[in-house]
Amino acid sequence: MKSEQSRAPYYIKLHLGDYERDTVELSPLQDGMYFRLMRWYYSTANPIPNDISRIYRRVHALSVEEQEAVKYVLENFFLLDGPVWRQKRIDHEIGEYMERSETAKYAAQRSVENRQKRSERLSTARKLGTHTKTEFEILKVVCGDKCVRCGTDEWQLERDHIVPIYQGGSDSIDNIQPLCAKCNSSKGPEDIDHRPQGWIEKFNEIKENGLANAERPLSDRLTNQNQNQNQNQNLNSKPLEPIGSCEAEASQPVDNSQNEKAKKRREDARFILGHLNAKAGRNFKPVPATLKPIEARLKEFSRGDCLRVINLMVEKWDSDEKMYEYLRPSTLFRASNFADYNGLLTTGPKP
């Protein structure tokens, strides 16, 4: 009995229209008794036992009038089925509830198991060897600050374990190569070392002399990227008006509504980030850098689109050793990625 009770719903769906229609002829007393009987039924997730004195006690029907009301409701709203009074609708709702909670329980359990598996594998990989952040920075320099697989320098470079961790690869720098997010997510089980020949000598040399002394226009490169971005933005926007011109002042109210929209997008982005954290078991902080790509997508897509893409990608990647780490705003909400993911939702996978 206890196990049944723990599976009982905590809330009930009450379709007001249907309820009003079905109970319009009930007196307040009968209506009250009906509601008590329903609550009993739902709270145990079991039909009502056909034991009239037990029923009276349970719903506190003490007077003859109250007991008559109980009998009336039982006979008109429930069906005697052997030793119990049943109602089809309540059985259906309880069934649906249990199905939902079983599914949710299963998904939660699977997610926990996957996470455990991932962290176990990573700790095994780390027992075989580890690398530092600086070592990875040096490796990127050695590899020309490019994706060693496709040669692009337009994407942020990520650590790829050449022999995947789930195949027993270690986490030491010998087993790491910088790949762009695209290559990293598409490489599958291949274990090709794309690093340039002689990388290890160069690596050791830089490590000895210090990264600061290495030839690396990284900061220049980042500045260039920013400049490019600004240029693109300028191309997309209207020609710049001289600051303080009449036009700029006249457009003040428009700016206010723009501010309102931006504020709304920030709120939505926070909500969406919370959803991602909850679904993927992550803990991204709602800082501007994290919210920015989400806000950018909210200019073209709805909040619902964003939530659906998260649900879809968590479903796809949650149990995937390699892809799990891409369940993050910078990957999910990158313009080109997001359009692809959203496409999966509306058209299904492309042939």
**Binding residues vs Zn ion (CB under 5 A):** 147, 149-150, 180, 183
Nearer to Zn ion, 150 or 218 (CB): 150
Nearer to Zn ion, 149 or 279 (CB): 149
Nearer to Zn ion, 35 or 155 (CB): 155
Minimum Å distance from CB 137 to Zn ion? 18
Nearer to Zn ion, 183 or 310 (CB): 183
Neighbours of 194 (CB within 10 A): 18
Say if CB 195 and CB 149 are below 8 A apart.
Answer: no
Nearer to Zn ion, 95 or 151 (CB): 151
Neighbours of 177 (CB within 10 A): 25
Minimum Å distance from CB 280 to Zn ion? 24
Q: Which of 13, 2, 77, 18 is nearest to 42 (CA)?
A: 13
3-state secondary structure of 86: strand
Minimum Å distance from CB 345 to Zn ion? 26
Nearer to Zn ion, 33 or 183 (CB): 183
Nearer to Zn ion, 55 or 147 (CB): 147
| C-alpha neighbours within 13 Å on the C-beta side of residue 254 | 5
CA distance readout (Å), 187 to 154, 163, 318: 18, 11, 18
Minimum Å distance from CB 149 to Zn ion? 5
Helix axes 199-209, 133-142, angle to 10 degrees: 130
Minimum Å distance from CB 206 to Zn ion? 22
Minimum Å distance from CB 337 to Zn ion? 14
3-state secondary structure of 92: helix
Q: Using CA atoms of 19, 20, 23, 24 in order, give the dihedral in degrees to the nearest 10.
A: -170
DSSP calls for 140-202: HHHTTTS-TTT---SS-EEEEESS-GGGT--SSGGGEEEEEHHHHHH-TT-----SPTTHHHH
Q: Which residues contact 4 (CB under 8 A, 6 or more apart)?
A: 44, 45, 46
Minimum Å distance from CB 150 to Zn ion? 3
